[in-house]
Amino acid sequence: MLLACASTGVMAQSQPYLCEFGIQGGIGYYVGDAAHHIFMNPREAYGVQFRYKFTKRWAVQAKVSGQRIAGHKYDFPVNQGPVRLDELWTNQLWNMDAVAEFNFFRFGEANRFDKRIKPYTPYIFVGLGCGLYGDMDKPLTASGYVPLGIGFKWKFAERWGLDIAWQHNIYWADDLEAQKDLNDRFHMNGWNWMNCDLTGMMTIGIVFEFARAPKPCRICNN
């Protein structure tokens, strides 16, 4: 009886947590009519996240993030090509998205009954989101986008973890610049998704686990 009670206590500690809440920060960038390469004119990026883990491999994450984007202003002389100016514009973006995640390894707390479970794993994700953007002095514009990317998780303590992610947001719009001369200059918005703007963020965050999973039985391990 004493052995059964002790085993029950040990196994209760090994029950996984189903949920995570975390904060993250890093740098973000924009790719569009005023910036043609990633990590041009990088600015701050930050956010909060909630993750629910269905299995050791699959999870869903909801996130609210903000970032500044910047690019060069352009002049368009008559009968000439665009001329890039030294002056920069900056805009604020607010994003809300939900993504499905797939872990390459079985991720979770170390378990002596299942050596396949690792405290670290790379992962990929894809989902849907909605963003607000534009000049803060004017009403913001809303647009949907597709978030996708790669990341790495590391569980360094019983209820604490590290999360590194590189996320790309493919917007359904071509006017993130909020600059009249750059927005939809060639009248391709609304049908040519290859002409849409893109933003990205590379962040590092810390997460805290909660909501322990119920035990399958009194003395069974998970």
Which pLDDT belongs to residue 141?
87
The position carrying tokens 């009968």 is 79
Three-state DSSP class for 141? strand
What residues make up the domain containing 30?
A: 2-212
Element (H, E) at 84: strand 83-103
- pTM of the full predicted structure? 0.83
Total domains, the chain: 1
**Does 220 map to a domain?**
no
Task: Say which CATH number the domain at 112 has.
Answer: 2.40.160.20
**Does 218 map to a domain?**
no
pLDDT tens digit string along 147-179?
999 999 999 999 999 999 999 999 988 888 877
Look at 37 and 164; give whichever has higher pLDDT.
164
Where does the pLDDT of residue 6 fall: very low under 50, low under 70, confident under 90, or very high at 90 and above? very low
Look at 51 and 190; give whichever has higher pLDDT.
51
Element (H, E) at 63: strand 58-75
DSSP assignments along 86-115, one per residue: EEEEEEEEEEEEEEEEEESSEESS-BTTBT
Which pLDDT belongs to residue 152?
98
**Does 6 map to a domain?**
yes
Which pLDDT belongs to residue 181?
67
**Position 50, amino acid:** F
In the structure encoding, which two tokens stand for residue 147, read together? Answer: 């978030």
